[in-house]
Amino acid sequence: MKYTVKTFVSALAFASVMSMTTVPASAQDLGFNIPDKETVEAQKKARDNKAASQSIGRAIMDAFELYEEEKIKEAIAVLEDQDPDPGYDSAYLDRFLGNLYAADERMADALKVLKNAVDQDVLGWNDQAAAMKLVGQISLQEEKYEQSLEYLRKWVQFTGERDSQVFLYMANAHYQMKNFAEIIPLAEASLEAAEKPDKNVYTLMMASYYERKMYPQAIGVLEEGLNKLPEVTQWWPQLAQFYMLEENLAKSLQTMEIAYLAGYLDKESQYKMLVQLYDNEGIPYKAAATMEKHVEAGDIEKTAKNFATIANSYHRAKELEKAVSWYERAAESAEERDDKGEYYRKQGNLMLLNEQYIAAATPLKKALDYLERNEEGRVYMSLAEAYFYGGDYRQAMRYVDEAATFDGQRRSARSWKGYIKSTAKRKGIDLD
């Protein structure tokens, strides 16, 4: 979770005013104390309010005018050309030069001069606070996470402000350092201080619990987040996945169905997840129909494997004709010989089950063209059954003899051979 320069630096704050919030103190242990308003006000009054020298003040005004004309590099050159006295002038100039560097995306330079400005601790209260905060923000962007935390913490303790975004930045720094437990107090403080919920806070909290395998807590975070921000569509599948991790498949399906009906699902993996949940919960027809709809619409890739998934679900839903049709599409689309043969075999067997005996022989024979020898025995037995029930006893006998050449089918073939002969004999057909 990275932040851009524009998040941190919108313009040069030549006259920033730091506002105090009225949010009550968080009950969470942030790991540091936050001064009350009275303490901050006393510190502000005690701080010297100095003014820059005339030459430095003039240079800053000139730089500001150039900045307003979008001549950032020229503005930088004006300030770089100055030779300020040590102390306040130097810190004051660095504070504004740092802002210009940041606006010019020279972040390393910005950090150097801003840190120098802050560390001298001679600026007026507003300028000191603004520079301190910017050091923390840019440090986060530049992946200097410890430094970011140091300066943002200093800013909170300096200003006494409970700033939702600052707490979020601090939580994010801990996330980047994999300090997952430290995220929660800061994230909760961010939520408490915010005027409206921020989805990034919930995302960090969820990640914190997920990384520690605290799935019930992650569920609680997402449930609260969705209650306040139901339009964050990606959270619905995430919540469903957490329910799955907790083996609560019913709630997982319920969550995915809500998201589906609301139009929040838009990825192939999400549609497939819903289909799988329907299957797991014993609702194969919905699984098949949902998969079919989104395959035909192009939301799910048209592959042999996906066609076979539809066929399998329709089979379990006892929609045999639909299952047969989809197995045929799977077989025709399959690239691997074994897959193609297996799909033709399943198509033929389902046609047998659907009492399409003679017609079943066609896909079964196609299966023989692709299956390895060790798989052929089952197909020959199916062909024998197809012709037997279709009344063609001679063909049935032919294929049962073929099946008998396979070790795995020999015993069954012998039984069928006797049954075929006796049935044919009763009907006046001599097979000898």
pLDDT tens digits for the chain (432 residues)? 443 323 323 222 322 222 222 233 343 478 888 988 999 998 888 887 788 888 998 999 999 999 999 999 999 999 999 988 888 999 999 999 999 999 999 999 999 999 999 999 999 999 999 999 999 999 999 999 999 999 999 999 999 999 999 999 999 999 999 999 999 999 999 999 999 999 999 999 999 999 999 999 999 999 999 999 998 999 999 999 999 999 999 999 999 999 999 999 999 999 999 999 999 999 999 999 999 999 999 999 999 999 999 999 999 999 999 999 999 999 999 999 999 999 999 999 999 999 999 999 999 999 999 988 778 999 999 999 999 999 999 999 999 999 999 988 899 999 999 999 999 888 888 877
Give residue 33's pLDDT.
87
pTM for this model (two decimals)? 0.78
Give residue 29's pLDDT.
76
The SS3 assignment for 281 reads: coil
Query: Measuring CA to CA, which residue among 301, 306, 240, 311 is closest to residue 267?
Result: 301
All domains in the chain, ordered by first residue: 1-15+28-155 (1.25.40.10)
The SS3 assignment for 405 reads: coil
Is 149:170 a contact under the CB 8 Å cutoff? yes
How far CA 398 is from CA of 394, 417, 429, in Å, comes to 6, 10, 15
Give residue 225's pLDDT.
95
Tally DSSP H helices, then E strands, for the chain. 23, 0
| Pair of tokens at residue 302 | 């048209």
Give residue 15's pLDDT.
26
How far CA 425 is from CA of 152, 403, 414, 421, 429, in Å, comes to 95, 22, 17, 6, 5
Is 367:399 a contact under the CB 8 Å cutoff? no
Which residue type sits at 171?
Answer: A
Using N-to-C axis directions, what is the helix angle for 393-403 and 373-389, rounded to 10°? 160
d(CA 166, CA 100): 22
